[in-house]
Structure 1
Amino acid sequence: MEVIGFDGADVLVSLTAPEGANSEIGRIPSHEVSLRRVEHPSAIFQVGQEIDAEEIGRWGGGQLLLSARACEIPALRSFLLSIEGGQVVTGTVAGVHNFGVFVHVDGEPDGLCTGFIRLPELTWSRIDHPSEAVGTGQRITAEVIMPETRSGQVTLSLKALQEDPLVRLADHVGRLVTGPITKIVSFGVFVELAPDVEGFLHLSELTNEPVETPAHVVGEGELITVEIAEVDVRRHRVRLCAAEGRGT
Structure 2
Amino acid sequence: MMGGRSENPELWTFLESLHCGELLSGTVTAIERFGVFIALDDGPDHPVFPGVGFITVPELSWRHIEAASDVVQVGQRVSCEFLQFDTWNLEARLSLRATQPDPFRTFAGSIAVGQKLHGKVTKLVPFGVFVQVADGIEGLVHLRELTWTPVQTPSDVVPVGDDVTVVVTEIDRERGRLALSRRQASSERR
TM-score computed with the length of structure 1 as normaliser = 0.66
Q: Indicate the residue corresponding to 1:210 in structure 2.
A: 151
Alignment pair present for 1:108 and 2:49 = no
Rounded to whole Å, the distance in 2 between the matches of 1:83 and 1:102 is 17
Matched residue count = 181
- Gap change, CA 1:76 and 1:229, over 3 Å in 2: same
Which of residues 157, 160, 167 is equivalent to 2:105? Answer: 167
For residues 85-144 of structure 1, give each alpha carbon's deviation from its aligned partner in whole angstroms, at most 9, with x where no partner exists: 100011111222332222222222235512111222111122222222212221111111
Matching of residues 39-54 of structure 1 within 5 Å: none
Q: Indicate the residue corresponding to 2:185 in structure 1.
A: 244
Which of residues 130, 135, 138 is equivalent to 1:195? Answer: 135
- Aligned residues with identical type, % of pairs: 39
Moved more, 135-144 or 199-208: 199-208
- Gap change, CA 1:90 and 1:247, over 3 Å in 2: farther
Rounded to whole Å, the distance in 1 between the matches of 2:72 and 2:140 is 26
Offset at residue 247 of structure 1 (A): 9.1
- Gap change, CA 1:164 and 1:74, over 3 Å in 2: same
Matching of residues 26-175 of structure 1 within 5 Å: 34-35=1-2, 69-71=3-5, 72-111=7-46, 112=49, 113-168=51-106, 169-170=108-109, 171-175=111-115
- Gap change, CA 1:135 and 1:209, over 3 Å in 2: same
**Paired amino acid for 1:85:** C
**Paired amino acid for 2:78:** I
- Gap change, CA 1:140 and 1:180, over 3 Å in 2: same
**Paired amino acid for 1:95:** A
For residues 205-225 of structure 1, give each alpha carbon's deviation from its aligned partner in whole angstroms, at most 9, with x where no partner exists: 2233332x4233222221111
**Paired amino acid for 2:31:** V
Quick check: 2:28–2:77 contact (8 Å CA) kept in 1? Answer: yes
Bigger Rg, which one: 1
In structure 2, stretches of 5+ residues that fail to align are none
More relative contact order, 1 or 2 (CA 8 Å, 6+ apart): 2
- Gap change, CA 1:138 and 1:183, over 3 Å in 2: farther
Quick check: 2:24–2:80 contact (8 Å CA) kept in 1? Answer: yes
SS of match in other structure, 1:204? helix
Rounded to whole Å, the distance in 2 between the matches of 1:127 and 1:221 is 20
TM-score computed with the length of structure 2 as normaliser = 0.84
Rounded to whole Å, the distance in 2 between the matches of 1:154 and 1:227 is 43
In structure 1, stretches of 5+ residues that fail to align are 1-33, 36-68
For residues 225-245 of structure 1, give each alpha carbon's deviation from its aligned partner in whole angstroms, at most 9, with x where no partner exists: 111112222211111122332
**Paired amino acid for 1:244:** A
